[in-house]
Amino acid sequence: MTGKVCPDYLTIQSVVDNEEEDQAVLEHLDQCSACRKKEEEIRSMVFYANQLSSKERLPADFCDRLSERAVYQPFPALPFALALFAIAFASVYIIDPGYLNWWLTVGITSNIGLFLDTFFELLYFGINTEPVWIILFLATLVLIEVIILSGIKRLEGVIK
Ligand SMILES: [Zn+2]
């Protein structure tokens, strides 16, 4: 661990537990306010957890086990999103079934209409345009897709 890179949560945890022996990490915490803030959070978490009950004390490895679970348990993003969507869908139906009917007919129809309009406009555009512009346009679409996909990948990395 170099002095310039911020240590991860587990490493700061080991500093709080007085288990960290890497001098570079200890020096980093002296100099980096962001890491000191994390350290304070961990310390106050342990402090308040101990205050909750006067007789019971947290096991010494409580924070290790907690952060292991927090790090290694993947967040079920897709089921969560589906559940949220289902809840939103159901609550709209309960509040006003007419609105849902309206959205299914008018909303989707107008979206398909817009899609078809765009498709035909692109078709006419393609007939009247040099192939090089079409290739550039398609390349731009692919580029946008790649950017979006890599963004999603990064997001998944953050969630997991
Ligand atoms: Zn830092």
* Residue 120 within a domain: yes
Question: Looking at residue 104, what is its pLDDT?
Answer: 67
Question: Looking at residue 12, what is its pLDDT?
Answer: 92
Tell whether 42 and 13 lie within a shared domain: yes
| Contact (CB, 8 A) for 46 and 58 | yes
Tell whether 17 and 57 lie within a shared domain: yes
> What residue numbers bound the domain in which 111 lies?
74-128
Q: How far is CA 66 from CA 44, 47, 61, 83, 88, in A?
A: 15, 15, 9, 26, 32
Q: What's the predicted TM-score (pTM) here? A: 0.33
128-158 burial: b if 16+ Cβ within 10 Å, else e: eeeeeeeeeeeeeeeeeeeeeeeeeeeeeee
Ligand 1 centroid distance, CA of 35 (Å) = 4
| Contact (CB, 8 A) for 43 and 16 | yes
Number of domains in the chain: 3
Ligand 1 centroid distance, CA of 132 (Å) = 50
* Residue 98 within a domain: yes
* Residue 142 within a domain: yes
Ligand 1 centroid distance, CA of 105 (Å) = 54
| Contact (CB, 8 A) for 130 and 46 | no
Mean pLDDT per block of 10 residues along the chain (160 residues) reads: 76 90 92 93 83 67 74 66 76 70 69 76 70 76 80 64
Tell whether 92 and 146 lie within a shared domain: no
* Residue 58 within a domain: yes
